[in-house]
Amino acid sequence: MFPELSGSQLQLRDTAREFADKILIPNADHHDQREEFPRENIDKLAELGFLGLVAPESFGGLEQNYVTLCVVLEELNRGCASTGITVSVHNSLFTGPLLAFGNEEQHERWLPRVTNGEVLGAYAITEPDHGSDAASIETTCRKDGDGYILNGTKAWITNGSEAGLIITFATLESSLGSKGICAFIIESDMPGFSVGKKEKKLGIRASDTVQLLFEDLEVPASNLLGEEGQGFKIAMHTLDGGRIGIASQGVGIAQACLDASLEFAGEREMFGRLLQDNQLVSHRIAEVATEIDAARLLMLRAASLKDAGMPYGMEAAMAKLFASETANRAAHHAIEILGGIGVSHGHKVERLFRDAKITEIYEGTSEIQRLVISRHFRT
């Protein structure tokens, strides 16, 4: 299933493309070098409606599908991966599960604030000792009167210190395994909530990545997302959609690498001819361009299946795996083509090379994606 984009989808993609060209690309290195959250980018994107891409119009959103989200995220990540992941997490990892599992009161309470950019959303499942094994989380929740008490630590949380609302996962009893996990919507002004250390990272350094601490955090029952014991189901459902968002990021980063390679090869001369006329260079460019197209098609297939209400877990894993590895190969080739310039601190290709690596790690490592895919072929 490969959709033909409608007029409104093309308009949104072109708006994102123009925003990337005029705002994101000129400022991406500035934010990266200072490890500075791109607040002005997010505020402008909120004005464009991109923080409410998947939210219903009745709550101020654009009510777009995941194909639209993907083509927008590709353009934003082409310009600045730190901005792109902020928007991706907000839409796919927070708004998505709130829409899918939240009740009417929760929708009315939070969606308007999330959609207009008043608050950012985050998703907290990873812990210092538990990343890929989501069923083994140690953050606890115990019933207390009409609510719950949470204790624990979450790690590597994107948007963590900037978010006003965080979907968080905790276990009622570790012996229950995945059946004991609950999902909660945590409000950042709740007593007992605090932000821990900020991570210093190889890439996406302008993205906010922190630890979150819960110390006897009182959460009312009205903040329980879904039902008790449904948290693992919510987490896995959410990650399937989030992987499509990371596939979009991989495609965007890869496209930025290809653009930089083409620009340099079309201007730089070596031994009396342009680099683009060198067979070795032209073959690298052909390989990258082909892989980007394949990654984009995998991304659109997964998004189309999700939009159609069909199973898409395997396809999302395939898209995430291939797009993230394509981004890293594209960055490697760009470095090879640009040579010393490409590894110079402050050059966009050096930043893209660093940014690409995380796409193979978060929201399920490449190894986890291979496990997910292989399970669909077991007899």
Q: Where along the chain do its domains lie? A: 7-120, 122-231, 239-375
CA–CA distance, 5 with 13 (Å, rounded to integer):
10
Instruction: Supply the pLDDT for residue 346.
Output: 77
Apex 169 CA angle, 116 and 124, nearest 5: 50
Q: What is the pLDDT of residue 35?
A: 96
Q: Which positions are catalytic?
A: 363
**Packed helices 348-358 and 231-265: angle between N→C axes, nearest 10 degrees:** 160
- pLDDT tens by residue, 189-242: 999 999 999 999 999 999 999 999 999 999 999 999 999 999 999 999 999 999
Whether the Cβ atoms of residue 239 and residue 363 lie closer than 8 Å to each other = yes
In 10 A of CB 191, how many CB atoms? 9
**According to the model, what pLDDT value does residue 1 have?**
47
Q: For residue 344, what are the CA distances in angstroms to 208, 341, 348, 351, 353?
A: 24, 5, 9, 9, 11
pLDDT of res. 82: 98
Q: Which of 225-239, 270-284, 359-373 bottoms out in mean pLDDT, i.e. has the lowest?
A: 270-284
Architecture of domain 122-231: Beta Barrel (2.40)
Tell me the pLDDT tens digit for each residue of 31-78. Answer: 999 999 999 999 999 999 999 999 999 999 999 999 999 999 999 999
CA angle 130, 319, 97 (to 5 degrees): 55
Report the pLDDT value the prediction gives residue 108, as an integer from 0 to 100: 98
CATH 1.10.540.10, domain 7-120, yes or no: yes
pLDDT classification of 277: cutoffs 50, 70, 90: confident
Write down the pLDDT at residue 3.
Answer: 66
The pLDDT assigned to 347 comes to 86
Q: Does the pLDDT value for residue 174 go beyond 90? A: no
Q: Do 166 and 214 touch, CB atoms closer than 8 A? A: no
Q: What per-residue confidence (pLDDT) applies to 57?
A: 97
Write out pLDDT tens, residues 93-114: 999 999 999 999 999 999 999 9
Radius of gyration of the chain (CA): 21
Residues 185, 238 contacting (CB under 8 angstroms): no
> What is the pLDDT, as a whole number, of residue 243?
97
The three state secondary structure string of the chain is CCCCCCHHHHHHHHHHHHHHHHHHHHHHHHHHHHCCCCHHHHHHHHHCCHHHCCCCHHHCCCCCCHHHHHHHHHHHHHHCHHHHHHHHHHHHHHHHHHHHHCCHHHHHHHHHHHHCCCCEEEEECCECCECCCHHHCCCEEEEECCEEEEEEEEEEEECCCCEEEEEEEEECCHHHHHHHEEEEEEECCCCCEEEEEECCCCCCCCCCEEEEEEEEEEEEHHHEECCCCCHHHHHHHHHHHHHHHHHHHHHHHHHHHHHHHHHHHCCCEECCEEHHHCHHHHHHHHHHHHHHHHHHHHHHHHHHHHHCCCCCHHHHHHHHHHHHHHHHHHHHHHHHHHHHHCCCCCCHHHHHHHHHHHCCCCCCCHHHHHHHHHHCCCC
Tens digits of per-residue pLDDT, 116-162?
999 999 999 999 988 778 778 999 999 999 999 999 999 999 999 99
Q: For the segment 290-328, what is each residue's pLDDT rounded down to a tens digit?
A: 999 999 999 999 999 999 999 999 999 999 999 999 999
CATH number of this structure's domain 239-375: 1.20.140.10
pLDDT band at 2 (very low <50, low <70, confident <90, very high): low
Q: Considering the chain, what is the average pLDDT of its residues?
A: 95
